[in-house]
Chain A
Amino acid sequence: MAHLSGEDRGQILLVAAFALAVIFVAMALIVNSAIFTENLASRGETSGSDGALSMRADVATSVGAGVEAANRNDNGSVGELTDAVSASVRNISRQTGRQSARSGRVVDVSYQSATEGARIYQSDGT
C-alpha cells in the first residue's frame, strides 16, 4: 500500500476538477433558463381568445350584410324579411363553420329573434 503523506498528494487536482464541474453545471442551468424564458416570451398572452374575437367581428359584418341584402331584395313583408335573414344566417353558419374547421375553429351562428321596425319612404315619386 502506498504511503500517502502530507502535502504531496494530488488532492488539489480533484478539488479543481470538482469546482470546474460545478461551474459547468451551473452554466448549463443558466443557459437552460434562457431557453425557458424565450419559450415563455414566444407564447402569446391571449392565446386562443383573439381568434374567437376576430371571428365574432367577421360574423357580425357578414350578418349585417345579410340584413342589408334582405332589406334590398326581400322587402315585401315582415315574414319574407325574417325568412331571408334567417336563411342568410343559416348559410353563414354552415359555410363559415366549414371554412373555419380547416384551422381547428368551430363557428356556430344562429338566428335568435327580430323586432319589427318601421321604414319611411316616399310613395309618390313626384
Chain B
Amino acid sequence: MRGQAHTLEATVAGLLMLSSLIFALQMTAVTPLSASTSSQHIENQQAATGQGVLATAADQGALKPAVLYWNNSSSRHHDVGVQQFYTSGPPDNRFGAMLSRAFNENGIAYNVYFRFQTSDGDPITRRYVYSGVPTDNAVTATHTVTLWDDDPLYEADGTPSSTRLSTENVTYPMPDTGANLYNTVRVEVVAWRI
C-alpha cells in the first residue's frame, strides 16, 4: 500500500511540473516584437529613415527637382529605360543620391511613387523608382509637394531648364488643376527589408 501512495504522489508531482512547464512555454510566444525581419522596431526605424530622407530632400530643395526631372522632348524621365520608371537604382539626381545613401547599402529595397490628382480629385499614381512588389512588412513615408505653373522642368544634370510647367506643349503628363497652382504631388517612399 505504501508503494501505491508513493506512485500517486509522484504522479501528482509529475502533473504539477508538466502543467507549469506548459504554462511557462506558452509565455514565450512569438510576438510582433520578437527579433526578426518583420520586427516592429525595424519597421519604425525604416519609416523614420524614409521620413527623414524626404524631409531632408524637401528642406534642401531636392524633392521638387526630382519630381520635375523630366525630359520634355522624349516625354519621360531622364535616362529611364523602356518603362516609364527607374528600375535599376535611383535616378541620377540629388534625391536619388540621398535614397541610395539611406537605403541601398543597408539591404533595404524601396519603391517611390508619385500620387498626383486630376481636377476632379481622382488620384493618378505613377511609379518613379520600382524594385518590385513590397512585402507585408513594408512601411510608407510620405511628403506633399505643391507644383506651380512657374516651376521649371529640370535637365539631366539637375539644373532648371527654360521649359516651365505652364509652357505650351509641355509633355509633363499631369493635368493643370488650378490658376497658379499646377498640381499637388504626394511623394511616397515604400521601404522593406530584403
Which A residues are within 8 Å of any B CB, using their own CB? Answer: 1-4, 8-11, 13-14, 16-18, 20-22, 24-25, 27-29, 31-32, 35, 38-39, 41-42, 44, 54-55, 58, 61-62, 65-66, 69-70, 72-74, 84, 87-88, 91-92, 94-96, 98-100, 102-103
Contact = CB atoms under 8 A, between A and B. Distances in A.
B92 interface: no
A31 B30 CA distance: 12
Given A2-B5, A72-B150, A94-B121, 4 more contacts: A42-B33, A69-B149, A87-B178, A91-B181
Contacts of B179: 84, 87-88, 91
A99 B181 contact: no
Given A4-B5, A16-B13, A88-B180, A25 B148 contact: no
Given A25-B23, A65-B146, A74-B180, A10 B1 contact: no
B143 to A, nearest CB: 7
B17 A20 contact: yes
Contact of A8 (B2, B12, B123, B183): B2
A72 B180 CA distance: 10
B82 interface: no
16 contacts: A2-B2, A3-B1, A17-B17, A25-B24, A28-B23, A35-B33, A55-B144, A62-B144, A62-B146, A65-B148, A66-B146, A69-B181, A73-B150, A73-B180, A99-B115, A102-B186
B138 interface: no
A31 B25 CA distance: 10
B184 interface: yes
A100 B121 CA distance: 12
Contacts of B28: 28, 31
Interface residues on B, range: 35 or more
Interface string B151-194: 00000000000000000000000000111110110100000000
Of residues B13, B21, B31, B186, which shows the largest number of chain A Cβ atoms within 10 Å of its Cβ?
B13
Nearest 7 CB-CB pairs, A to B? Answer: A2-B1, A21-B20, A95-B184, A17-B13, A28-B27, A10-B9, A24-B24
Given A88-B178, A95-B117, A102-B115, A14 B23 contact: no
A35 B69 CA distance: 47
Interface of B: 1-2, 4-6, 9-10, 12-14, 16-17, 19-21, 23-24, 26-28, 31, 33, 40-41, 44, 51, 55, 58, 115, 117, 121, 123, 140, 142-144, 146, 148-150, 177-181, 183-184, 186
B184 A99 contact: yes
A21 B17 contact: yes
A22 B16 CA distance: 10
A2 B24 contact: no
A5 to B, nearest CB: 9
Contacts of B148: 65-66, 69
A24 B23 contact: yes
Nearest to B35: A38
